[in-house]
Amino acid sequence: MLRNFRKAFQGNQTPTAILMMLTLAGMVAYLAPSGRPEAADNVVARVYGHEILKGDWDLATDYIQRSMGEKARTDEGFAYAQRTALGMLVDKAIKEEQAERHHVVVTDQEVREDLVSMLKRYEFFKNADGTLRPLAEIDRILQSSRTSLKELEKQSRERLVQQKLNAQLGSEMPVDEAWINAENRVRNEKISLEAVSLTPDPSTVQDPGDAKLEAYLKASGPRFQQGPRRIIQFVAVDMASFGNTLNPDDAALKAAYESKKAEYSELKASHILFKAKTDEEFAAATEKALKLREELVKGADFAKKAEALSEDPSAKSNKGDLGWFKAGQMVKPFVDAASALKEGELSQPVRTNFGVHIIRLEGRRTKTFDDVKESLRSELAQERFTSRAKEKLAQLRKRTGDHGDLSAAARALNLQLKTSKPLLNDSSAQIEGVPFATMLVNEVFRLKVGDISQVQNAGQAFVVFKVLSELPSAVPPLKEIRAKVLDSWKTEEAKRLLLEHATAQLKGGGLEALGAVQAVADTTIKTYPEAASPSIRKELLTTATGQICAPAWTNDGKLWIGKITVRTPAPDMNFEQRRALLTELQNQLVTKQLDAEVQFLATEGRLRPGFSSLWGRFNGIWVNPNIGPAEQGDQGQ
């Protein structure tokens, strides 16, 4: 409903729109803060009216965790997965908004046809006669692989929306005959050339002093303009803060070893797999497994049978040998069956979501206390640090509340309070005493000035901070960015001096006067690496054979000067080739435009987080402040 209001505002000034505005005025009061936690309706974020629900966030987080391996088991790994998942879902919602703004519509019928076409490409979704299995049965197969038909439908719709959007915008992209011909030359015209590349050396340029740098900064100020910067007060607690009190004694280490002993146990097993998905297939696979087991008990060679009969794709190379593995590396029914065997013993048929297995246990081993003592010591010290640091900072946070006096609370708890330099909202952020400051940046800019953060994890430290102030977008004074300005000035000056020197040398001779000449034979402009620079590409297209090209700069900052010695024209294109090239060039323009639009929507939307999610419902991006560690960064709650 709210989304319909926004559409009416954008294109309707009739009495109906006025009535809707009056209705909205009453809703604003309803949406305004009322002292209750915001968005108890399970909404994680609202992106231009598109809701991101906690269930979808959990699924995306789970998917990312499964791709992370061991790192996902830590608090920090889980928080990273949550942040990444939320970012992906927000990007996806932005693209949905983009498609709506371009009035792209995909019907349910189109989705069904696309989905059926996709399913028919896979044999295990089809019956023996080639017809598609019932959708309910296909859904069961998919769910055994931790997906669903509903998820495939969503993916199909997203793919069709993108295809329609690309086709719609592509037809509007201005690609003229001259561009097509030039691109054909770039790809198909053969050239031989000689070239020299020279590298400017900024280290030979002296510091000109503040007066010149001030003038340079003033002349090229926009280059150094920085977005809003924030200054924070913070308390950081790292392992050094606790001295030797984190080190566990031998008694604690032995207790931990006994409690984690299962994690240090490994099994070695071989198996033979008969794949199955449906109940009928499991019945047939079990029958084959029982028959095979009888043969193995009578002395048949397990490795040869695995190589000949196992439907595990790796069986041909490993003959069924799975090597050593821990419990968490295999599905539970498989591990339970293998653990119950004696060395050399064969299992009964074991059913898993892959099919039916016959397992032979080859061995078992457990790491000794001495094997893991040092890694346990480090692990326990880290656990103690995490617990104590969170506890200490939780006390600090309790004293301050959301907007209290952080300095007074820090003094009361004998904690060191520091003030940061102005921080940019990007990956360059650095905070003295916080090695992984970039982990805090999102939260620094999500909070309002005066707000105090929850306990934040910053890699090697835990942090609580207060947003003291925000500096507007501006060119900082020279003293704040002198090193950056000096580097830029030296680079520009070195390039100017090199260009002057090269130009003077060319007047007295050919390319040889500049240095070592590199010859390249029978190449295309597209495959010539330096032609990635638009200026060099232009010189190669326009300079006559035998003439020296005007000096140009490569993308990595080198001065390039070349001469084409042989040019073989590109063959003429037929109609189909011209149409294919036109489509490709249009698609390149579409991709650039869509990427720019997404970036604009992301930037503008985050400038309007709004109050009580109002802008998130209409024309901005709102993230629920109560969703937990992914946004709050609070690992201590």
Identify the pLDDT of residue 561. Answer: 96
* 258 inside domain: yes
pLDDT tens-digit series, residues 296-328: 999 999 999 999 999 988 888 889 999 998 877
* 229 inside domain: no
360, 269 in Cβ contact below 8 A? yes
d(CA 16, CA 8): 9
What mean pLDDT is predicted for residues 540-561?
Answer: 95
pLDDT tens-digit series, residues 558-577: 999 999 999 999 999 999 99
Identify the pLDDT of residue 459. Answer: 81
Helices (H) and strands (E) in the chain, counts: 23, 16
d(CA 633, CA 465): 12
291 confidence band (pLDDT: 50, 70, 90) = very high
d(CA 50, CA 89): 10
Identify the pLDDT of residue 632. Answer: 40
* 560 inside domain: yes
Chain mean position to CA 35? 36
Does residue 65 sit in the same domain as residue 134? yes
Q: Is the pLDDT of residue 534 over 90?
A: yes
| 3-state secondary structure at position 405 | coil
* 598 inside domain: yes
d(CA 480, CA 165): 45
Closest CA to 562 of 575, 547, 572: 547
588, 575 in Cβ contact below 8 A? no
Q: Which of 40-49, 372-381, 600-609 has the highest mean pLDDT?
A: 372-381
d(CA 499, CA 558): 10
Q: What is the CATH number of the domain that holds 282?
A: 3.10.50.40
* 407 inside domain: no
Per the prediction, the chain carries an average pLDDT of 85
Does residue 196 sit in the same domain as residue 315? no
Does residue 78 sit in the same domain as residue 161? yes
Counting other chains too, the contacts that 2-7 makes at CB distance below 8 Å and 24 or more residues apart are 2/27, 2/49, 2/617, 2/618, 3/49, 3/617, 5/618, 6/49, 6/617, 6/618, 6/619
Q: What is the CATH number of the domain that holds 537?
A: 3.10.50
Q: Is the pLDDT of residue 523 over 50?
A: yes
Q: Is the pLDDT of residue 138 over 60?
A: yes
Q: Is the pLDDT of residue 493 over 90?
A: yes
Please provide residue 299's backbone torsions phi and psi, each rounded to the nearest 5 degrees: 115, 5
75 confidence band (pLDDT: 50, 70, 90) = low
634 confidence band (pLDDT: 50, 70, 90) = very low
Identify the pLDDT of residue 521. Answer: 95
Chain mean position to CA 539? 38
Does residue 546 sit in the same domain as residue 621? no
| 3-state secondary structure at position 419 | strand
* 528 inside domain: yes
* Angle subtended by helix axes 149-170 and 108-119, to nearest 10: 110
Measured CA to CA in angstroms, residue 621 lies from 29, 192, 247 at distances of: 20, 54, 45
Q: Is the pLDDT of residue 630 over 60?
A: no
| 3-state secondary structure at position 120 | coil
Does residue 92 sit in the same domain as residue 139? yes
Quote the strand ranges of 353-397, DSSP E: 355-366
Put simply, whether the predicted model's pTM sits higher than 0.75 gets the answer: no
Does residue 165 sit in the same domain as residue 36? yes
616 confidence band (pLDDT: 50, 70, 90) = low
505: tokens are 């040398």
Write down the residue that tokens 């690496």 correspond to.
529
- Top pLDDT among 261 and 239 is at 239
213, 489 in Cβ contact below 8 A? yes
Chain mean position to CA 148? 24
Q: Please tell me the chain's helix, strand, coil percentages from 3-state DSSP, rounded to the nearest 5.
A: 55, 15, 30
What mean pLDDT is predicted for residues 421-433?
Answer: 85
Identify the pLDDT of residue 464. Answer: 95
635, 457 in Cβ contact below 8 A? yes
Last residue of a domain, one of 536, 568, 600: 568
DSSP class of residue 607? T
* 269 inside domain: yes
Q: What is the CATH number of the domain that holds 101?
A: 1.10.4030
445: tokens are 């800019």
Does residue 164 sit in the same domain as residue 45? yes
Q: Is the pLDDT of residue 171 over 80?
A: yes
366, 263 in Cβ contact below 8 A? no
> How many CB atoms are located within 10 Å of the residue 596 CB?
10
CA angle 89, 94, 100 (to 5 degrees): 130
Chain mean position to CA 116? 31
Quote the strand ranges of 225-264, DSSP E: 229-238
Q: Is the pLDDT of residue 624 over 90?
A: no
Q: How many domains does the chain have?
A: 4
> How many CB atoms are located within 10 Å of the residue 232 CB?
24
Identify the pLDDT of residue 544. Answer: 95
d(CA 185, CA 541): 8
Return all residues near 273 (Cβ < 8 A) that are at least 6 apart. Answer: 310, 311, 312, 315, 354, 355, 356, 357
Does residue 88 sit in the same domain as residue 159? yes
Q: Is the pLDDT of residue 553 over 60?
A: yes
Q: Is the pLDDT of residue 16 over 70?
A: no
Q: How many CA atoms lie within 13 Å of 395's alpha carbon, on the beta-carbon side?
A: 14
DSSP class of residue 39? -
Does residue 336 sit in the same domain as residue 288? yes
Side by side, the strands of the sheet bearing 518-524 are 518-524, 190-198, 559-568, 552-553
Identify the pLDDT of residue 610. Answer: 59
Q: Alpha-carbon Rg of the chain, whole angstroms?
A: 33
Last residue of a domain, one of 303, 335, 370: 370
Identify the pLDDT of residue 288. Answer: 93
Residue 23 exposed, middle or buried by CB count within 10 Å (0-12, 13-18, 19+): exposed
Chain mean position to CA 635? 21
Percent of the chain with pLDDT over 70: 88
b/e map of 325-339 (b: 16 or more CB within 10 Å)? eebeebeeebbebbe
* 361 inside domain: yes
Q: Is the pLDDT of residue 527 over 90?
A: yes
Side by side, the strands of the sheet bearing 621-623 are 50-53, 43-47, 621-623
Identify the pLDDT of residue 122. Answer: 82
DSSP class of residue 348? P
Helix ranges, 32-174 (H): 54-68, 75-101, 108-119, 135-144, 149-170
Does residue 196 sit in the same domain as residue 289? no
Identify the pLDDT of residue 34. Answer: 34
- The two beta strands, 559-568 and 190-198, are antiparallel
Q: Is the pLDDT of residue 48 over 80?
A: yes
What mean pLDDT is predicted for residues 368-388?
Answer: 88
135 confidence band (pLDDT: 50, 70, 90) = confident
633 confidence band (pLDDT: 50, 70, 90) = very low
Q: Is the pLDDT of residue 38 over 80?
A: no
Identify the pLDDT of residue 617. Answer: 58
d(CA 600, CA 620): 11
Lowest mean pLDDT among 360-374, 447-461, 504-518, 596-610: 596-610
Does residue 137 sit in the same domain as residue 36? yes
Does residue 43 sit in the same domain as residue 105? yes
DSSP class of residue 530? G
Q: Is the pLDDT of residue 23 over 70?
A: no
520: tokens are 């390249």
Identify the pLDDT of residue 360. Answer: 95
Closest CA to 568 of 184, 283, 189: 189
pLDDT tens-digit series, residues 326-352: 877 788 899 999 999 999 999 999 998
379: tokens are 């692990």
Measured CA to CA in angstroms, residue 561 lies from 86, 126, 195, 499, 578 at distances of: 48, 62, 6, 10, 32
Q: Which domain holds residue 23?
A: 1-31
Q: Is the pLDDT of residue 542 over 80?
A: yes
Identify the pLDDT of residue 569. Answer: 94
203, 497 in Cβ contact below 8 A? no
What mean pLDDT is predicted for residues 155-163?
Answer: 90
| 3-state secondary structure at position 51 | strand
Percent of the chain with pLDDT over 90: 50
